[in-house]
Structure 1
Amino acid sequence: MVKKLTKHGNSLALVIDRPVLDLLKIDAETPLDISTDGTRLIIAPAEPAKARKQKFEAAQEWAHRRYGKTFEKLAK
């Protein structure tokens, strides 16, 4: 599907068709995560805050297990 951006005040907007919104269960209240891989714009429903926090804590624990001694040396 090829889309064009629409002028919205001083910004540009992307209009997403209803079938796509329904398929992804997105409505006007759904927070969206917008990112890029350097060449593409990636738009996806944002994970709930609790899931993001759990992922962050898991990554933090992994880094601490793997690099904890290095972190201690750097802190001195």
Structure 2
Amino acid sequence: MIKTLTKHGNSSALVIERPILELLGATPETSFEVVTDGRALVLIPILDESQTAKFRKTMESIGKRYRKSFEELAKR
């Protein structure tokens, strides 16, 4: 799916359709954690704080474990 940003005051907004929100178990009131590696954007619905903490810890572990590999891939 390709999306475009929508002007929202001095900012830009990304509209997420209802079927995608339902797939994520989210509602328009759900908070999302925004994670980026500088090239990609990941939106994580905050449904359970313990899951979010576990995800963040796992991502940090992966980053440390595969740091050299990621650096090599970034050079290409």
TM-score, normalized by length of structure 2? 0.59
Residue 26 in 1 paired to residue 26 in 2? yes
Structure 2 matches for 1:4-43, cutoff 5 A?
A: 4-43=4-43
In structure 1, how many angstroms separate the alpha carbons of the residues matched to 2:19 and 2:42?
Answer: 18
The change in CA–CA distance for 1:51 and 1:40 in structure 2 (over 3 A counts) is closer
Deviations 1:1-53 (A, max 9, x none): 00000001111000011111111111122110001022101101125345567
Q: Mind listing any 5+ residue stretches in structure 1 that lack a counterpart?
A: 56-76
CA RMSD after TM alignment = 2.5
Gaps of 5+ in 2: 56-76
Identity %: 45
Question: Which SS does the other structure have where 1:3 is aligned?
Answer: coil
Larger Cα-atom Rg: 1
